[in-house]
Homo-oligomer: A and B are copies of this chain.
């Protein structure tokens, strides 16, 4: 590898990057300043086409795999070596923002452009990747294509996912001209993903860079609490079996479990439906969902134990029935130590304030970590808001994150002798 990475000229062009971000944001722009570019729509095709054009202009070769993932390649000196890759997604939520995903893609392009500017030859090839259907808004599940790449799903499953109108990913890839021929999956020397944090920590602590060491594991539950529907007037308090009272105590329990495993645990009841939901009827049944997250699987197991014991106690006391269903269990991920070290070193060389972070959300990098050395770089977003048209980030944050990405990629790709 190379010892001269810290040269002051190793900086990306922040203005050019910002201009590209704003140009891409015109495709599917919403009135409120956000983006709606759902996977494999005409607008997604327009975004892909623009990306491909820019990459070709930057001298890259383009390949597309059978899941429609786009690989823009800048050759290395030793082009037979496995590439160092970076990337994210161009698809958005229906009321999404201008940075979620697209930043990670265009930062990769900016890395290539900067290497070109500097006439910098890497030992290994560098590739910038666009993953198909990361958001999962149009086709469930989310991160389907990195999932296929990592072997979590097979190709047939991926191509057969349907939108609400019954159109499949495979059909829509054909329609927009992005059904490629390449196999999905190959040897990768390292993978980096730059992303906005989608949470409030970096901005609140005035840190520019999040060195992402882990991604939280997730356990999701559906809980149904059943009591006795009865009249709010003639039914004395001590004879009630109020399902909402039990459910409310479960909400408090979930919050308490989260706090007991601070600072990394997240514990949320996001959905709660009351039956019959009438002003003067004691609720007979409540359905609620629980979302537990933590970077350590042992802690998730302990949270699970506390949840079940707590629900037993709460429902037993009121005389309620319970049904607790595990619906999703995604184990925590620890990213690759060398990749983390490359990000941290780059951040320190550049003098950016930083902190280690755990990703609370899922990203394509989570799947990639199963098959390649992987880590992530986070930059702040305004008020921690994402999946929202008001999603925003400052140009200096975006530049700083891309500076870090550039150096981390060079560190892993090596300077050609």
Contact = CB atoms under 8 A, between A and B. Distances in A.
Interface of A: 197-201, 204, 216, 218, 220, 230-239, 242, 244-245, 247-249, 251-252, 255, 258-259, 262-263, 265-274, 277-283, 289, 291, 293, 359-362, 384-387
Nearest to A252: B248
A237 B258 contact: yes
A247 B245 CA distance: 11
B251 A238 contact: no
Given A199-B230, A271-B279, 5 more contacts: A198-B233, A236-B262, A237-B259, A269-B283, A270-B279
B271 A360 contact: no
B237 A267 contact: yes
Contacts of A262: 236-238
A360 B235 CA distance: 8
Going nearest first, the 10 A-B pairs with the smallest beta carbon separation are A199-B234, A233-B360, A234-B360, A248-B248, A248-B251, A232-B268, A233-B361, A237-B258, A279-B289, A232-B291
A279 B255 contact: no
Nearest to A232: B268
A267 to B, nearest CB: 7
Contacts of A251: 244-245, 248
A285 to B, nearest CB: 13
Residue in A197, A235, A289 with the greatest tally of chain B CB atoms within 10 Å: A235
A349 B247 CA distance: 48
Contacts of A384: 230, 234-235, 239
Contacts of A239: 200-201, 204, 384
A386 B235 CA distance: 11
A245 B257 CA distance: 13
A231 B201 contact: no
A239 B199 CA distance: 10
A277 B272 contact: yes
Given A236-B201, A385-B230, A280 B252 contact: no
Contacts of A197: 234
Contact of A242 (B204, B255, B361): B255
Nearest to A358: B234
A238 B264 CA distance: 10
